[in-house]
Amino acid sequence: MMEEDYPEPEEFDETDFDKTKGRKLKVLCVRCEGKTNHTVLQSVIRNISENYMNWSGTYEVIQCLGCESISFREEIYFSELAEPWPGGSNGIEVSLYPKRTEHTRPQKPTYHAPPTVRKIYKEVIDCYNNESYILCAAGLRAMVEGICASKGIKKGKVEITLEDETKQTKTLTNIQGKISGLFEQGYLTKDHSDILHEHRFLGNEAVHELSSPTPEELNIAIDILEHTLEALFNLPRQAIDLKNHRSRRKNKT
Ligand SMILES: [Zn+2]
């Protein structure tokens, strides 16, 4: 065959805006648990073809149709990565930002918590989602300390077992004492404070004594502290907002 029988490859470099706008997708949500329906709010598509190779990138701002969270989806196709045989790759790679997996813990809104507590909470969730479990445990301790500091809790009664196996109740100022203090002031239920006491990673004094906790253990401890944040800082604020709203309505009539 003569060389001129091959057609010249078509070369292009195109950019399209909002071509996929309004498209519906099922995607893992950053906040809801599991996959939910999302819609594309805006998109940019680039298509490049040169030397018989095709590359395309689809960049989409997407919104969850449940919780309305907005995030970013990137879909890259590269013809050189496609394997045209059964079970082969279709050459498409999808990434979501912020990153998420089935086990990703969404970050709960903590607008009304003190800034330090909010910052530590964000880092705790980041560590958990990045599988940095020792740092996550250290962060949970810091969160308990931060919550106690904001409420002026410095100590609490802890039942300790002496060498001869007898039990004694002592007032302590360490992290165990503070967990008890949260219960004594009514900020934690008895069950929740017992569970937190059972976690060795919250009991050890120094970070170098921390054994790597399991994700399941951390998950429960994070659940409890999220409840605590909600009860301590969000609910009282919502009660004030509701009261103001009512009195404004009353004044109007
Ligand atoms: Zn959602």
Spacing, Cα 122 to ligand 1 middle (Å): 19
pLDDT cut 70: percent of the chain above it: 93
Say if residue 206's pLDDT is above 60: no
Spacing, Cα 130 to ligand 1 middle (Å): 20
pLDDT of residue 209: 65
How does pLDDT run across 80-89, given as a tens digit for each residue?
A: 888 888 888 8
- 231 pLDDT band, cuts 50/70/90, is confident
Spacing, Cα 22 to ligand 1 middle (Å): 17
pLDDT of residue 211: 67
pLDDT of residue 114: 92
pTM of the predicted structure, to 2 decimals: 0.64
SS3 breakdown of the chain: % helix, strand, coil, rounded to 5? 40, 30, 30
Say if residue 169's pLDDT is above 60: yes
- 188 pLDDT band, cuts 50/70/90, is confident
Which residues are registered as beta bridge partners of 75?
A: 58, 94
Q: Can you tell me the distance from the alpha carbon of 63 to that of 78, in angstroms, rounded to the nearest whole number?
A: 26
How does pLDDT run across 128-138, given as a tens digit for each residue?
A: 988 888 889 88
Spacing, Cα 30 to ligand 1 middle (Å): 6
- 18 pLDDT band, cuts 50/70/90, is very high
Say if residue 66's pLDDT is above 70: yes
The rounded radius of gyration (Å) of the Cα atoms in the chain is 27
Spacing, Cα 73 to ligand 1 middle (Å): 14
Spacing, Cα 78 to ligand 1 middle (Å): 30
Q: Can you tell me the distance from the alpha carbon of 116 to that of 161, in angstroms, rounded to the nearest whole number?
A: 34
Report the pLDDT averaged over residues 216-223. 90
Spacing, Cα 67 to ligand 1 middle (Å): 4
Q: 208 vs 97, 101, 119, 204, 232, CA distance in Å?
A: 34, 30, 23, 9, 31
Report the pLDDT averaged over residues 63-76. 96
